Structure 1
Amino acid sequence: MPTYNKLIRDLIPVIIEQTGRTPSGRILGEEEFQQELRIKLQEEVHEYLEDQNVEELADIMEVLFALAKVHGASEEQLLQIRQKKLEERGGFEKRIFLENVTE
């Protein structure tokens, strides 16, 4: 029997049951949930760096939205903050690489 010990998406237990297997887990408290979200973010970023595909970017976004909610912000608020920063500081479209700044 494999042991996972990791945060999973809400429908994974149902998907496991549909294959005739029985999942075992628990509901995390707030502090542990936040810690596991940070671990999940690292996992998803690592997977993206390995695979470099859009599916992994979508997984990263899902974790980011969950973390935003932990901090009291909605998906919309997170996207608004992103937009504000984009307007004030720009994005990465120009591919600028800063090497140094002379005083």
Structure 2
Amino acid sequence: MEKYYKLVRDRIPEIIEAHGKTCICETISDEDYISLLDQKLNEELAEYQESKSLEELADLLEVMQAVVKARGWTLEELERVRADKAAKRGGFEKKILLKEVNEEC
């Protein structure tokens, strides 16, 4: 028996049972859900940083979308904030590395 305390995708219990195993799950509160989503963001980011795979990046995006919804925002709001920041401050296409800033006298 393996013990877990982690947020999993909706179909994971069904997949576990399809493999002839049983699992114990529960539906958690909104507060615990947001907390575990925040942990899941860190987990997925670490997995992407280790593998650099598109699949792990997709997992990170899935969790980000869940966080947006759980916090009562919409994906449209997220995109608007992203676009506004990009318009004001730019994106990352120019590959600029800031190395030093000097104070003017």
Q: CA deviation at 1:5?
A: 1.2
| 1:76 CA drift (Å) | 2.3
Q: How far apart are the structure 1 equivalents of 2:77 and 2:101?
A: 34
Distance apart, 1:37 and its partner CA? 0.6
Aligned residues: 103
* Structure 1 runs not aligned, ≥5 long: none
Which stretches in structure 2 are left out of the alignment for 5+ residues? none
Counterparts of 1:9-88 in structure 2, within 5 Å, are 9-88=9-88
Correspondence list, 1:92-103, <5 A: 92-103=92-103
Structure 1 residue 70, shift from structure 2 partner: 2.1
Question: Are the aligned partners of 2:34 and 2:71 in contact in 1 as well (CA < 8 Å)?
Answer: no
The one-letter code matched in structure 2 to 1:41 is L
- TM-score normalised per structure 1: 0.92
Per mean C-alpha deviation after superposition, the further-off stretch among 51-60 and 73-82 is 73-82
2:35 partner letter = Q
Name the amino acid aligned to 1:74.
T
The one-character-per-residue Cα deviations of 1:71-97 (angstroms, maximum 9, x if unpaired) are: 211122212221221222111111111
Normalising by the residue count of structure 2, what TM-score does the alignment of the two structures yield? 0.90
After the TM superposition, list the runs of 4 or more consecutive aligned residues in structure 1 that deviate by more than 2 angstroms: none
Please provide the CA RMSD for this pair.
1.1
Q: What's the CA shift for 1:99?
A: 1.5
Tell me what 1:6 maps to. 6
- Which structure is larger by alpha-carbon Rg, 1 or 2? 2
Aligned counterparts of 1:86 and 1:30: Cα–Cα separation in 2:
31
Deviations 1:13-32 (A, max 9, x none): 11111111112111111111
